[in-house]
Amino acid sequence: MKILFEHLEVPQIHTLSTYKEKGGYQALEKVLKQMKPEEVISVVTDSGLRGRGGAGFPAGKKWSFVPKDPSKTKYILCNGDESEPGTFKDRILMEQIPHSVLEGIIIAAYAVDCHKAYIYSRGEYTESISALEKAIEECHAHHLLGEAILGTKFSLDIHVFRGAGAYICGEETGLISSLEGIKGWPKLKPPFPAIAGFNRQPTVVNNVETLAAVPWIIQNGAAAYKKYGTEKSPGTKLFCLSGPVKNPGTYELPLGFPLKDLIYDIGGGLLNNAKLKAVIPGGASAHVLTAEEALKVNLDYESLAAAGSMLGSGGVMVIPDTQCMVDLLSVIAHFFKHESCGQCTPCREGTGWLEKIILSILHKRGREEDIDLILNITSNMQGGRTVCALADAAAWPVESFVKKFRSEFEYHIKNKRCHLNVH
């Protein structure tokens, strides 16, 4: 069953005419002509749609926090700053079905009384940006954007904002800072963006995939959406399967789908029939799962949390037994050190020291006490000691790699070489 990718294979689906032929913008028409804003919010709340960017916050609830005060300017920021390693799903939606994203934004804007929305695309996604800009132009020409949308009193403008290469701008308050023309430093919450966000006005920040699911939910109803997925994680989600598997790619699956089936049935198993060593299930920030844990877990918010990891962005990275975990962790540690914005001491210093210690183990200079030192640093980076969650996100992979594959780290320290002889 496909919701987001229902028409992905249709030729020319990126154009307005084809999108409309396939039923596009009917949900918008229904919303503008038959529904009150609060009815839209209640349908989305009832559907159980949760944020698909990583945090999983219920979308309808987020919208309901926006004050109804008509004197306030409200904004919608569509987060397309997809930078979580292992994630490449929003890009497909923006490039190939841009109108589904726009329709979702227009519906959300109507629901929260917003008249100016922005799509924040990561800087590298130039194809996404041009696809969205073309689609916006088509919408203006056909009364789907601008003044008097579809002949109603509702008006909305959408602008595409090009990010400039900073992972932290995917964090909602970092994104807001970036849009405000200051460096992408996250802001303390509260106040939450719904109360004081962009330009200190009420702001909704939703992921591309979250918004793209909205038209289908409006058109088919909350109950239809809840037929897919699990009770607590309803609907479908895009999963990005990568690593040495036979069929890597982005797949839309009902939440609760077994990870094992994604890797072995859909993904065709590992290349060269390698043995599975581990899986990172939700982008580089997620706790790594051992093969044994991965083969038992289902892909939904609750199952992955119960397994000690997270659904995150849906970036599933498969690790074969030929991969040295010390080596792979050095890659992840480098990433977080590079992307820490430098605002909070535990994150700025912690990510730097973690990379240094892991590299010293990798380069045969490790000391016996380094493993405990790493775990000490990771525990000091977690649990709300920083403005945003990047410090936690940097600590989780390190902590889980070291705890679950401790013997590999110990081998490097003790024998001053790699147990697999791969570096």
We find the least distance from the C-beta atom of residue 159 to other proteins, in angstroms, to be: 5
Of 269, 243, 263, 400, nearest to 323 (Cα)? Answer: 243
We find the least distance from the C-beta atom of residue 75 to other proteins, in angstroms, to be: 9
Q: Would you say 176 and 156 are in contact if contact means Cβ atoms under 8 Å apart?
A: no
User: By C-beta, is 60 or 282 nearer to other proteins?
Assistant: 282
Q: Would you say 132 and 101 are in contact if contact means Cβ atoms under 8 Å apart?
A: yes
We find the least distance from the C-beta atom of residue 312 to other proteins, in angstroms, to be: 13
User: By C-beta, is 20 or 72 nearer to other proteins?
Assistant: 72
We find the least distance from the C-beta atom of residue 382 to other proteins, in angstroms, to be: 21
User: By C-beta, is 200 or 416 nearer to other proteins?
Assistant: 200
Q: Would you say 78 and 93 are in contact if contact means Cβ atoms under 8 Å apart?
A: no
For 17, phi then psi, to 5°, come to -65, -45
Q: Would you say 237 and 255 are in contact if contact means Cβ atoms under 8 Å apart?
A: yes
We find the least distance from the C-beta atom of residue 309 to other proteins, in angstroms, to be: 15
We find the least distance from the C-beta atom of residue 368 to other proteins, in angstroms, to be: 27
We find the least distance from the C-beta atom of residue 78 to other proteins, in angstroms, to be: 15
Q: Which helix (H) or strand (E) holds 273?
A: none
Rounded Cα–Cα distance for residues 31 and 36 (Å): 7
Distances (CA, A) of 145 to 106, 138, 140, 371, 398: 8, 9, 5, 56, 46
Q: Provide the terminal-to-terminal Cα distance of the chain, rounded to the nearest Å.
A: 44
For residue 254 the two structure tokens come to 């009902």
User: By C-beta, is 244 or 308 nearer to other proteins?
Assistant: 244
Of 71, 66, 132, nearest to 99 (Cα)? Answer: 132
Binding region for other proteins (CB under 8 A): 73, 82-88, 91, 116, 122-126, 159, 161-167, 178-184, 199, 240-244, 248-250, 280, 284, 315, 317, 319-320, 323, 327-328, 331-332, 335, 338-339, 341
Q: Which helix (H) or strand (E) holds 189?
A: none
We find the least distance from the C-beta atom of residue 329 to other proteins, in angstroms, to be: 10
User: By C-beta, is 230 or 330 nearer to other proteins?
Assistant: 330
Is residue 372 classed exposed, middle or buried when 0-12, 13-18 and 19+ CB atoms within 10 A define those classes? Answer: exposed
Is residue 318 classed exposed, middle or buried when 0-12, 13-18 and 19+ CB atoms within 10 A define those classes? Answer: buried
User: By C-beta, is 43 or 114 nearer to other proteins?
Assistant: 114
| Residues composing the chain | 423
Q: Work out the number of other CB atoms within 10 angstroms of the CB of residue 223.
A: 11
User: By C-beta, is 56 or 320 nearer to other proteins?
Assistant: 320
We find the least distance from the C-beta atom of residue 49 to other proteins, in angstroms, to be: 23
User: By C-beta, is 146 or 258 nearer to other proteins?
Assistant: 146
Q: Would you say 358 and 350 are in contact if contact means Cβ atoms under 8 Å apart?
A: no
User: By C-beta, is 3 or 176 nearer to other proteins?
Assistant: 176
